[in-house]
Amino acid sequence: MNKIQYSPVYIGMYFLLVSAILAVQSTRYSAVMTVVYTTVWAIIYGIGLLCGWQYKNQGTKAFVIITNVLAVFALFVFLAGYEFSGVVECLIACLLWLQAGRNFTISLRRDIFYTYIVSLILILYASSISKETSFVFFIIFYVLAGMFTFMTEHIDERLSYASGGDRDILTKGMHLPVKGGVLSLMTLVVAAVIFLLVPMFPSPHVQAFPSVGGWFYRNVWQKGAKGEKKGAGRGENAILRLQGFKGAAQAGKGKTIKSAERKPSFKETYNGFKKKFDIASPGQCMLSNRIVFYLQADRPLYVRGKVFDSFNSRVWKSSGSGSETVLINKGLFTFDIFTFEKDAEEGGVGQVYTINKNMPDIIFAAYKPLNLWFPGDAVQKEYDLSLRAPGYLHSGTIYSVLSEIRDVDGRQTGGWEPLDRADLHRYLQLPARLPAKIKKLAWSIAGGKHSNYEKAEVVEHYLKTHYTYTLATIFEKPKGDLVSYFLFKRKEGHCEYFASSMVVLLRALHVPARLVTGYYAAHYNPITGYYEVRELDAHAWVEAYVNYAWITFDPTPGFQCPLPHRAHGYLIASALARYLKNRLRIAGMTDRENGWVKALQKTVTFFDRVKMFLKKVWMIFKESIWVWLKSIGIMGLIAVLITAVISAVVHFFLQPVLDLLRLKRMKHGDPEKFIIRCYWAMERCFKRKGVPRPRSCTPGEYETVLTVKYRHLAGQISTITGLFQLAVYGDYTLNTVDIKNAYQAYKEIDFGGHTGRK
């Protein structure tokens, strides 16, 4: 087997592995812990590769013992970790220790590819779970390290065929720092252009749906359950670290697993998720830029959290008929909801939620949830189809939902849903002392409309166009009737004012309606493929009962309802520009004018200029080139295409014949010119067969490469190469016999040989 001869190969493998480890650690730990763990692994791998270089030169047996010991330790890590962590985590840890052991005895060129495969598995794993835009820099670092590694491997391969002074010439001729830097820069530029400007067509399915993980939630509603401690409350001994499905089963059986910390305080959480909701105090978290959860879905969504029906002009409550505990069945929760099977199959929209911040015991889902994959043995379903977990949602929890979503003029709805008379009465309740001017305003807005849908639509439009959205009102504490205060005095406010006013106006028009709180999940990150849902995306909207279905309406200005569908064929550049503009808008709301905001502004300006340039290019093409194409350009393009095809045919099929005829005509001429021409013809022949001669490769080195690949032609290759070296470098006088031998050897190579190995 070929041994590694070029020492920079070990440097390339080191940076390749360290970059992959850095990417993995960044997805699991904070920035400080990422640096600590990566430094530890970098030291371990650095020592191992240094020993590997020494083992290649000296064959030290102690390093073989270290490799075997670490291999056994890697197996122990997998088996022991399987009892305390997920299978994937165990495999990654095992892979890291196996590679750490293998580094001590790396000596063969094939080990380079094994190392590359390990690093590729690590970077793919990190890419699959990363949700941060900054992860793209880890990928760039990994790509640069990979390019350096393969360039050094290429030099090492060439060195394996060279000898003597050719080795020094080859090493100096490669100019690794210069050529490597230029090639890396060109590759990154081309990759960026392709990524940004080539249309991307997203997959029609949600990645890895359904997905469950992070923590396990035990049933706290079933008293006396096996393994349940007396007095265990919500969030206390109810949340257990999910150890894969095996650990989840153990937790469900009451096995002893360390419980999570006690229920944290949710003072900084949106107040719309509490039992009583004062619309004057939604919470200052609406100004926070922190990501609450990541959502994987094929469209933007209104994600429901809680539903309210009772209102006293200031505080919302839920006066429903209680809740129902739903137990897990065959790995999922299925809700007994009236739906047409055909509608469920056609309208199912999958969602995967990854919780990024400790949240109240609300399972967020788009309306109407059909199936839930949640890491627990029980959940609660409210009468309004909102869902609750056995404990607060811990950061790192992953769950999936399949919802039936119908579109009514693009508006989100859960499809046909019958209500009894008691439910209708509850959704028509008005405050006891509702001012007459509110009813008068409602009828002045929509009195001329006949259908409930038209009434809801016109009220929504009226609030969007006659009132102003602002977050300044969350700091105010007005007293009394807040709906009247908003409609007739303040005339601006946050979303809770708009949604509450619309519900009251609709109920005054005898249209059943309710207030819904949750999140406006519409900010798509084209780099990661996730919808990023932040605390400032906490939102309140309206569901109106129209034509036996709850239809979403959003009267708040600046919020699109109906939500736009995500394009199925678009430029990443335009999607990235929209994302950056949204981030810039958020930064203007939550952050001061600091350095990163200014950098973001410059980036957005750059994308806007690129967009304008592309538009100008398109207009020029449309107005001038397209006119030319329609007249004579198409025929010209066809002619160019035919010429290219003919040239390709001549090159691949007629060139050997032309070379042979040219050599036949030169047989009676100058022997030196004939031999040189014959060698060039042989080079073209092997280039067509996929083995071109590198510029840095001497004729002798090229001969070695060819004879290894085409052993049955070794004699003919040696004949032509030897005569060529005599013609160019030697003092030997060539004659007609040499011409005859070279001509016969070329005929056997180009017409009598085979393209495969023997």
Q: Which of 281-285, 372-376, 497-501 is the least confident region?
A: 281-285
pLDDT for residue 589: 53
Top-confidence range, 69-83, 345-359, 437-451, 493-507? 493-507
Percent of the chain with pLDDT over 70: 77
CB hemisphere CA count around 755 (13 angstroms): 7
Full DSSP string of 566-585: PPSSB-HHHHHHHHHHHHHH
Which two structure tokens, joined as six digits, stand for 734?
């060539």
Q: Who contacts 733 (Cβ-Cβ below 8 Å, separation ≥6)?
A: none
Query: Does a cis peptide bond (omega within 30 degrees of 0) precede residue 562?
Result: yes
Q: How many CA atoms lie within 13 A of 699 on its CB side?
A: 18
**Residue 300 burial (10 A CB sphere; 0-12, 13-18, 19+):** buried
**Segments in 447-571 forming alpha helices (H):** 452-466, 482-484, 495-508
User: Look-up: residue for tokens 């640069």?
Assistant: 144
User: pLDDT (tens digit, 9 = 90+) per residue, 359-387?
Assistant: 999 999 999 999 999 999 999 999 888 99
Q: Bigger pLDDT: 461 or 630?
A: 461
CB of 392 within 8 A of CB of 417?
Answer: no
pLDDT at 413 over 60: yes
Q: Given this model, what pLDDT does residue 339 score?
A: 54
Q: Return the pLDDT at 259.
A: 38
Residue 228 token pair: 């349940």
Mean pLDDT for the stretch of residues 323-352: 73
What value does the mean pLDDT take over residues 542-547?
93
Say what the pLDDT of residue 207 is: 46
Rounded CA-CA distance 487/313 in Å is 12
- pLDDT value of position 251: 40
Q: How many Cα neighbours within 13 Å face the side chain of 379?
A: 29
Residue 182 scores a pLDDT above 50 = yes
Residue-level pLDDT at 345: 45
Q: What is the dihedral of CA 62, 122, 394, 80, to 10 degrees?
A: -30
Q: What token pair was written down for 145? A: 């390290």
What is the reported pLDDT for 341? Answer: 46
Residue 754 above 60 pLDDT? no
Q: Show the domains of the chain with their CATH numbers.
A: 8-197 (no CATH), 215-274+282-416 (no CATH), 422-589 (3.10.620.30), 667-750 (no CATH)
The average confidence (pLDDT) of the chain is: 81
Predicted local distance difference test score (pLDDT) of residue 13: 93
pLDDT value at residue 72 = 93
Q: In the prediction, which pLDDT does 661 show?
A: 84
37-62 pLDDT tens trace = 999 999 999 999 999 999 988 888 89
Q: Do 363 and 372 contact (CB within 8 A), yes or no?
A: yes
pLDDT in tens, 123-149: 999 988 888 888 888 988 898 888 888
pLDDT the model gives residue 335: 85
Radius of gyration of the chain (CA): 35
Residue 323's DSSP bridge partners are: 382
Query: If you average pLDDT over residues 342-356, what whole number do you get?
Result: 73
| CA-wise closest residue to 563 among 548, 552, 577 | 552
- Name the percent of the chain lying above pLDDT 90: 34
Give the span between the Cα atoms of 164 and 169, in whole angstroms: 9
Return the pLDDT at 600.
Answer: 61
Output the pLDDT for position 152: 84
Q: Which two tokens stand for residue 430?
A: 């008005």
Task: Encode 611-644: b = buried (16+ Cβ within 10 Å), e = exposed.
Answer: eeeeeeeeeeeeeeeeeeeeeeeeeeeeeeeeee
* 366: three-class secondary structure by DSSP: strand
| Cβ–Cβ under 8 Å, residues 544 and 409 | no
Query: What does the pLDDT read at residue 347?
Result: 53
Supply the pLDDT for residue 232.
37
The runs of H, that is alpha helices, within 509-633 are 572-590, 595-620, 626-628
In the predicted structure, residue 34 carries a pLDDT above the cut 50: yes
Q: How confident is the model at residue 509 (pLDDT cuts 50, 70, 90)?
A: very high
Tell me the C-alpha distance between 386 and 364, whole Å: 8
What are the backbone angles phi and psi of residue 431, rounded to the nearest 5°?
-55, 145
Nearest to 384 by CA among 406, 362, 399: 362
**For residue 694, what are its two tokens?**
């590198």
Highest mean predicted confidence (pLDDT) among 238-252, 285-299, 538-552: 538-552
pTM above 0.75, yes or no: no
* pLDDT above 80: residue 257: no
Q: Span 701-720, mean pLDDT?
A: 89
* β partners of residue 294: 354, 532
Distance of CA 196 to the CA centre of its chain: 15
Check if the beta carbon of residue 11 is closer than 8 Å to that of residue 160. Answer: no
Distance of CA 507 to the CA centre of its chain: 44
